[in-house]
Amino acid sequence: MHALLNRSAVLALVRRWLVDIGFALAALGLALQFTVARFYENKVPPGGPLALLEGTYAVPFQYRVLIPLAVRGLLKVPTGLSFMWMYAAFDLAAVLGLCFAMRALVLRFADNLLFASISGLGLFYVLPFNFVHTFWYPSDVPSVLFFALGLLLLLERKWTWYYALFVLATFNRETTIYLTLTQIVVAIGTARSRGLWQHAVMQALLWSLIKGLLWFIYRGNPVVGFGLFENQLWANIEALADWHRLATYLMNFGGIWIPVAIWQHKLAQPFVRRALLVCVVQILVLATVGVLDEMRVYGEMIPVIYLALVMLVWQLGGVAKLARSWQVKLTGIGEHSNRSGVLQVHLLHPLLATL
Which tens digits make up the pLDDT trace of 93-105?
999 999 999 999 9
pLDDT tens by residue, 215-250: 999 999 998 865 666 778 888 888 888 888 889 899
Q: How far apart are CA 316 and CA 320, in angstroms?
A: 8
User: 172, 143 in Cβ contact below 8 A?
Assistant: yes
- pLDDT, tens digit (0-9, with 9 covering 90-100), for 309-346: 999 999 987 887 888 787 777 666 665 555 544 333 33
* pLDDT tens-digit map of 183-202: 999 998 776 667 888 999 99
Q: Where are the domains of the chain?
A: 2-354
User: What's the pLDDT band for 351 if we cut at 50, 70, 90?
Assistant: very low
Residue 165 pLDDT: 98
Rounded to whole angstroms, the Cα distance separating 126 from 148 reads 15
Length of the chain: 355
Q: How many CB atoms lie within 10 A of CB 213?
A: 12
Phi then psi for residue 350, to 5 deg, are -55, -40
Quote the CA–CA distance of 27 and 124 in Å, as a whole number. Answer: 9
Give the three-state DSSP class for 345.
Answer: strand
pLDDT, position 269: 93
Range 109-119 average pLDDT: 92
pLDDT > 70? residue 348: no
Please report the pLDDT score of residue 350 as a whole number.
32
Considering only CA atoms, give the Rg of the chain: 22
193 by Cβ neighbours in 10 Å (0-12 / 13-18 / 19+) ranks as middle
List, in sequence order, every residue forming a beta bridge with 59; answer none if it has no partner. Answer: 223
What's the burial of 122, exposed, middle or buried (CB within 10 Å: 0-12/13-18/19+)? middle
Q: Which is more confidently placed, 98 or 16?
A: 98
> Structure pTM?
0.89
Residue 353, pLDDT score: 31
Mean pLDDT computed over every residue of the chain: 87
Q: How far apart are CA 300 and CA 297, in angstroms?
A: 8
